[in-house]
Structure 1
C-alpha cells in the first residue's frame, strides 16, 4: 500500500508575521545659543537652564536624507523641549507628530569646581556628563539609573510603534538618543546606518 503524504496548509486568511519597521533616532537642529563663552560652574547651570528652554537657530535647512525618512515614516515623535519641537516642525512641514516628555535629554548638572575655573560650555557639558554617568552626581535631578529606566520605556514605546509595520522617527537629543539606542541594541535591534551625534544627524535601527 502506497504511503500517503499529508501537507498542512495555513488556515484561510492566515498571513505571514509582519516585519517591524525601522526606528530612526535623530538629533535636533542647532540651538539658538552661542557656546563661544567662558564660564564657571554656576555660569554653566545658568547656560544649561537657557539651553533647555530655547528653540533652534533660525535659517537652518534640514538635511534632505532626514527629510525623506520623516516623509516616509508612519509615526514621528519629538521630546517636549522647544529645540526638539521646532526641529520636528521643520521636518514634518505641517504633518502631525507626537511630543512626549519621556524623550527629553538627561540632566547635566556640572561638577562643583572652584568658581575661578572657567571653561567653555562644551567642556562643562563633557565634565557634567562624566560626573553624572560615572560618579552619580545629579544634584537632586534624575539619576543615571532613573534615566536608564526612562530610556528603556522610551525604547519599548518606539518598538511597539515599529511593530505595527511602519518606520518610526524620533527627533530628540544627543545623549538620551544614545541611551535609547543602547536599550534598542539590548533588545536585538541593530544599527544599520549612523551619522554620529551632531545636530540633525540620525541613526537607523532595524531588527533582523
Structure 2
C-alpha cells in the first residue's frame, strides 16, 4: 500500500505585496480562492499516480493541481484536507504578505489565539485526515492526496508514527511525499 501526498502548484495569487493587517486578511481570502498559476507546473509527473485513488482538499488550488497532474478530477474532495488555517492577527504595522504568513504561523505555534483554527485543533484535524487516508488505502489500495504544505507535513509525520515508511519527502509547490506500508 502507498499513500502519496502532493502539495498544490503555486497559486495565481501567491504574490508578495506590502500589506497592513486588514489587507493581509483579504490577501488570505484571495489565496484560498486561487487556482494554480499558468506558469506553475510539476517538474515531472509520475504516470503511475494516475491509477491511484485520488483525494483532494476542496480548495481550488488543490483540485486544480489534481486536474493538472492527473488529467482528471479527484474522486473525493473534502475540507478535512484543507491547509491548516493561515492565522491573521490585527497588528499595527505593514509587512510583505509572506512575512505576515511566517510571523503569524510563529505566533500561532506559540498558542496565540485568534478568529481561526488553533494549532491544537489543526493537529487534531491532521490526525483525523491521516486516519481517513489509511481507511481509504485499505479500501482502494494506493492513494494520492492533493493538499497543502503544512497539512501534508503533519499527515506525513502522523503516518510515520503509525508505521508508514517515508520514501520521498518534498514540501515545495508540487512537492511529493511518498509513504509505503
Indicate the residue corresponding to 2:51 in structure 1. Answer: 72
SS of alignment partner, residue 192 of structure 1: strand
Give the Cα separation in 2 of the matches to 1:96 and 1:40.
Answer: 36
TM-score (norm 1): 0.80
Task: Work out whether residues 110 and 127 of structure 1, in 8 Å CA contact, stay in contact via their aligned partners in 2.
Answer: no
Task: Work out whether residues 66 and 74 of structure 2, in 8 Å CA contact, stay in contact via their aligned partners in 1.
Answer: no
Give the Cα separation in 2 of the matches to 1:51 and 1:172.
Answer: 14
Q: Which has the higher strand share?
A: 2
Unaligned ranges ≥5, structure 1:
1-20
Q: CA RMSD in A?
A: 1.8
Indicate the residue corresponding to 2:111 in structure 1. Answer: 135
Give the Cα separation in 2 of the matches to 1:22 and 1:190.
Answer: 9
Indicate the residue corresponding to 1:14 in structure 2. Answer: none
Unaligned ranges ≥5, structure 2:
none
TM-score (norm 2): 0.91
Greater radius of gyration (CA): 1
With over 3 angstroms needed to count, the CA separation of the structure-2 counterparts of 1:42 and 1:28, relative to structure 1, is same
Give the Cα separation in 1 of the matches to 2:17 and 2:74.
Answer: 37
Q: Kindly indicate whether residue 171 of structure 2 is the aligned counterpart of residue 197 of structure 1.
A: yes
Q: Kindly indicate whether residue 178 of structure 2 is the aligned counterpart of residue 187 of structure 1.
A: no
Out of 90, 98, 102, which is 2:80 matched to? 102
How many positions carry a matched residue from both structures?
181
